[in-house]
Each structure stands twice: as C-alpha cells, then as structure tokens.
Structure 1
Amino acid sequence: MLYAVLALIGLGAGITTILFGFGGGFVIVPVLFQGISLAYGPETLAGQSAMHIAVATSTCLMIFSSLMATRKHHVAGTLQWDVIRPLLAYIAVGALIGAGAGTMVAGPWLRWAFIVYLGVTILDCLFRPGFTASNNGHTRSLGKTGSAVAGTVIGGIAACLGVGGSVMTVPLLRRRGASMTQATAMASPLTLPVSLAGTAGFVIFSWQEGQALGPWYLGYINLLALMALLAGSWLGIKLAATYIGRLPDQWHARSYIALLVIFWLAMLM
C-alpha cells in the first residue's frame, strides 16, 4: 500500500518539478517519513532512521527527475546556461559536505531543521520585495564570488535536508531578474549536482546502517520506494511538460508560495 501511495506522490512530484522547480524533497520527504514511521514503528531501526531514509531516497530520486526535467526545459528553450554553468561545481562541493553532515544529525533534529528552513523561505518570499513582482526575464549574473558563495551554501543545505536547492535558487534567480518560467526551469539542472553528490555522500557515509536495515537498502536509500516514486515522477513530468511557459508570471510566483505553505504544514503535522 505504501508503494502505491508513493507512486501517486511521485506523479505529483513530477508535475511540480516541471512547473515549480521542486518536487523531490518538499513532496516526498514528509510523505516517506510518515510512511516509514507508521509501517515499521518507532522501536525498529528503520523507524528510528525514517527521516534519514526519506532524505536519502528523495535525494537519489532527484538524479532522475532533474535529468528528465532538464531535458524537457532544454527542448522548450527556457534554460539560460550562462547563468547555470558558474553555479554547478560549487553546488556539487556544497552538496557533498551537506550529505556527510546530514548523516551525522539525529533524525528529529533533521526534521525540525527542514521545517525551520522551509518556514524562513516562505517568509522571505512573502515579505522581501522582488519575488512576486513581474520580471522582464533578463537574468543578471552573480559573478565569480557570488556564484562560489551561493553555490556552496545552496548545495550544502539542500543535500543535508534532501530538498534539491530549488527553494533557494528560484527566489535567488527571481531577484536577479528571471521570470518564474526561467527560474523554475534553471532549478532542474542546478538540482543535478546536489542529487549526484548528495546520493554519493549518503551511500558512502551510511553504508553500515544500510546493511542493517535490510536487502532493499543502499545506505539509507530505500530502493523499492525509489522505484515507485520514479515511475510516478516520470509520468508527472511527461504530463506537465505541455504547460511549460504558459502560466502567468505573478500567478506562477504566488502558486509557488502557496505550495510551499502546504508542504510546510504537512511536515509540521
């Protein structure tokens, strides 16, 4: 039953990946955390590691979903590679550090870090000028120093919490002049180094724990959950690709904030 639910959640995650730039962590981490906690119980090793499993599995899924979404956006012509390229390497370095840190933080602390992080982001989007205003689509470069600092911080936080980094890259790019279509599109390739480095980190740093969890685990990655999520995500991305660039900019931005609030409430409960 859990895996059927995960396939449906994966469908929604695929849709939000294409249209809003996120779908891995914000949809999957809360659901997988609750599902594993209920399925195994708090007295088991899997139940006690539920948050780590959710974050690691979400991070691994993002390898595939970011590749699929990047391809769709590249075909649609919504990617600005001159803005993306300077950030990629720094995000990967930060992600490897963040994945290592994430395996050393207790599950309840990781959950609350996720909740606080998402809450601060919502407040920032609502009250700091620039996010909900219509932009002209001419994205300004961050420069070498800005790319290094922003990329490392984004990669570290994203991999530690299993969220892909889009919740930081989208507001950042909006304030640099990107339209919502451009900002959410560029979140997909920028998620790839987070997911690759983060997945490698979770496997390396949690190998022994994964062996103790059972045969369907690679480190903290639940392979059965990953396959169910991947099937749903593939279908969701395919269905949502036809709407790329069709959403009004301000409506798109406000919908992005509304979805963040929904996911924040789900994780809080």
Structure 2
Amino acid sequence: MIAIILFFLIGVLIGITSSLFGFGGGLIVVPILYAFLPETIPADYVMHTAIGTSLAVMIINSLNSTLNHAKKGNVQWSIFKFFFLYIALGSLLGGFLAYFFTSDILRFAFIAFLIYVILSSVIKKTFIGQAADDFQFPSHPKAVTTGVGIGTVSTLLGIGGSVMTIPYLRNRGLSMLHSVALATPLGLPIAIVGTFMYLGLGLQVADMPVSTIGFIYLPAVVGFVLGGFIGVPLGRRIAQKLPDPLFSKVYLVLLVIVVIMMIIG
C-alpha cells in the first residue's frame, strides 16, 4: 500500500505531463522505475520491466488525455487517420525486436535517442519559434516510413510516440497545443501493442516476482493510473494557456532533465 500511495503521488505528475506534453507517462515512468524497481526484479530485466510498465500506464493516460483534449477541439483527426495505421505497424515491429536487446543496450539507446531529439530540435529554429499552425501533409511513401519508424522506436524504448511525433508535427507547421493533442491518440497503438508484447515476453521469464505480470510491475500501474485521473485535466488546462514559443522551450527543458536522470541512473 505504501508503494501504491507513493506511485499515486508520482502519477499525478505523470498525468500532468501526459496531457501537457503528450508523453503518456513514458519519459517520466521509465527513469523512475529504472531507479526504484524492487530488487526482486532480475537485474537483466529491470529496463524491460520499466518499459513494459510505462507502456501499460500509457494506455489509460493516453485515452484520458485524448478525451480531455478532444472536448476542447484540440485533436486534428485528419492527421491522426493519416498516420495511425503506419504507427501501429511499427509498434508490432518494435515489440518483436525488444526481446533481442539487453537492459543496458535499451537504456543507452534511450539516452542517445533523447540527446538526438534535443539537439536536432534546438538546431531547427522552426521548433522553438512561433508555429503557423498549418500542417503540411507528406506523401504516402514518406508517411509510411515516418509512421513505421515512430512506432518501432517508440515501442522498443517505451517512450510513447510524443518524443518523435511532436518534433515531426511541429517542424511541419503545427502548433505545440495541437501537436501535443495529436501525440496522445497516436501513442495508443504504441502503448497497446507494446504492452501486450512486453507482457508476453515477460511471461517467458521464470524468475519474475508475483508483483508483476510479464514485464509489467502492478503496484506502479495502479498508483500511476489513479494519480493520472487527477493530473491529466490539470495538464490540459495549462496547455491551453501556454504561449506557443514558451511551450516548445519548456518541452525541451523537460527532455534535458529526463536525460540527466537516466545518465545518473
């Protein structure tokens, strides 16, 4: 119960970041669980369990956040329909590949990818400037490559789609508010497919503790999800009020904090 209460308090923060930055919890859940998962989790599967738990939490938070943003008309469904299937296909590929990577490799890949996102976003001035909010649709071949790539990497690292979709949508002319609102429903196929993949892979590991189902740590899921029902509406209200250039800069600062947390370990 003590663990669930602590995870509940953290879950409020996760809920805020879910609807404010479209994270769905992944960027917060993975570093926290990597540091605080109990010693009963086999060392070789700590990162796998952190990622699997993150994806499970993402399902509820993404649904909750999507509903909150949709009520305010922030979700542009035409863009969602354009990318959804391709991201779902990439999610299947990422979940399959996860079995072939060690915990340390996944951790270092997580850190390296976030550093790349931060540096590329700073270099491209379109990310931190004022967006025209006029999305430029890519050709279908490019959409396939982008969607499958987002789904594969996001599921493999348990970060949800926002770290890739928000910079992509932003650089193609969409505002931060609409980019974030789209990142949550686009993260659903990643969360659903990834959760079942990590659950199935974890069930094949004999020495996982009773507090888990596959690579999903149940006390964290319960606490994070309950806290999210308080945090998600708060995050959406903040997102509605933030000026676009400030919104993008805060997003990048949070990514830097997450990278530092993962490096410290």
Question: Per the shorter chain, which TM-score range?
Answer: over 0.9
Residue deviations 1:77-124 (CA, integer Å, cap 9, x gap): 011111111211111111111112122211011111100011111101
Separation in structure 2 between the aligned mates of residue 101 and residue 113 of structure 1, nearest angstrom: 13
Answer whether contact 1:94 1:155 (CA < 8 A) is retained. yes
Q: CA deviation at 1:23?
A: 4.3
Corresponding position: 1:215 with 2:204: no
Equivalent in the alignment of 1:185: 181
Equivalent in the alignment of 1:252: 247
Name which of 71, 83, 87 aligns with 1:75.
71
Gaps of at least 5 residues in structure 2 are: none
Name which of 55, 61, 65 aligns with 1:65.
61
Name which of 86, 94, 106 aligns with 1:110.
106
Q: CA deviation at 1:159?
A: 0.3
* Local SS of the residue matching 2:204: helix
Number of equivalent positions: 263
Corresponding position: 1:8 with 2:36: no
Gaps of at least 5 residues in structure 1 are: none
Work out the percentage of aligned pairs sharing the same amino acid: 34
Residue deviations 1:34-84 (CA, integer Å, cap 9, x gap): 101xx31xxx55333111100000011111100000101110101111111
Which has the higher mean CA deviation after the structures are superposed, 54-63 or 138-147?
Answer: 138-147
Separation in structure 2 between the aligned mates of residue 204 and residue 27 of structure 1, nearest angstrom: 23
RMSD, aligned α-carbons: 1.4
Question: 1:5 is aligned with what amino acid?
Answer: L
Separation in structure 2 between the aligned mates of residue 11 and residue 46 of structure 1, nearest angstrom: 28
Name which of 87, 94, 107 aligns with 2:90.
94
User: Counterparts in 2 of 1:149-188, with a 5 A limit?
Assistant: 149-188=145-184
Answer whether contact 1:100 1:201 (CA < 8 A) is retained. yes
Name which of 231, 250, 253 aligns with 1:236.
231
Separation in structure 2 between the aligned mates of residue 268 and residue 215 of structure 1, nearest angstrom: 29
Which has the higher mean CA deviation after the structures are superposed, 253-262 or 141-150?
Answer: 141-150
Separation in structure 1 between the aligned mates of residue 219 and residue 179 of structure 2, nearest angstrom: 32
Separation in structure 1 between the aligned mates of residue 97 and residue 186 of structure 2, nearest angstrom: 20
Separation in structure 2 between the aligned mates of residue 25 and residue 222 of structure 1, nearest angstrom: 14
Q: CA deviation at 1:2?
A: 4.0
Question: 1:235 is aligned with what amino acid?
Answer: I
* Local SS of the residue matching 2:136: coil
Answer whether contact 1:100 1:205 (CA < 8 A) is retained. no
Separation in structure 2 between the aligned mates of residue 91 and residue 233 of structure 1, nearest angstrom: 24
Answer whether contact 2:44 2:102 (CA < 8 A) is retained. no
Higher relative contact order (CA 8 A, sep 6+): 2
Question: 2:186 is aligned with what amino acid?
Answer: L
**TM-score w.r.t. length of structure 1:** 0.93
Answer whether contact 2:24 2:184 (CA < 8 A) is retained. no
Corresponding position: 1:197 with 2:190: no
User: Counterparts in 2 of 1:50-61, with a 5 A limit?
Assistant: 50-61=46-57
